[in-house]
């Protein structure tokens, strides 16, 4: 029998979801939000939590659809998932809306 995966908001770094009502976070319904927040602001321990809970394929699927990832996170995801940066939605969005300064 397969072990049921569980995840609790208390397992994450306290600063990760400081701005949301923690009782309202549904890890299935808000999957993209949890993955995006963990990728952009989480620690290595937070990364291992979502990797164990969602799996690599689900994280890749959601990361590819996120509207914004900073350059470092985008480079990490591209390397980890063996994907070209141009295949990520945030890369396409960045090209559509260029910033005044790239710093």
- Residue 73: CB atoms within 10 A of its CB come to 18
Q: Which of 13, 52, 7, 43 is nearest to 25 (CA)?
A: 7
What single-letter DSSP state applies at residue 103? -
The CA distances from residue 72 to 7, 20, 52, 62, 77, in Å, are 26, 25, 22, 17, 9
Domain segments of the chain: what residues? 9-96
The whole-model pTM stands at 0.83
Q: Which of 80, 23, 28, 82 is nearest to 50 (CA)?
A: 28
pLDDT for residue 1: 39
Q: Kindly report, residue by residue over 20-55, the tens digit of the pLDDT.
A: 988 899 999 999 999 999 999 999 999 999 999 999
């Amino acid at each position: 029998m397969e072990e049921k995966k569980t995840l609790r908001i208390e397992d994450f770094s306290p600063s990760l979801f400081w701005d949301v009502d923690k009782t309202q976070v549904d890890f299935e319904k808000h999957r993209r939000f949890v993955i995006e927040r963990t990728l952009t602001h989480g620690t290595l321990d937070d990364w291992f939590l979502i990797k164990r809970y969602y799996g690599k394929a689900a994280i890749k699927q959601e990361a590819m659809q996120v509207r914004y990832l900073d350059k470092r996170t985008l480079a990490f995801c591209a390397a980890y998932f063996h994907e070209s940066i141009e295949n990520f939605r945030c890369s396409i969005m960045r090209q559509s809306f260029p910033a005044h300064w790239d710093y």
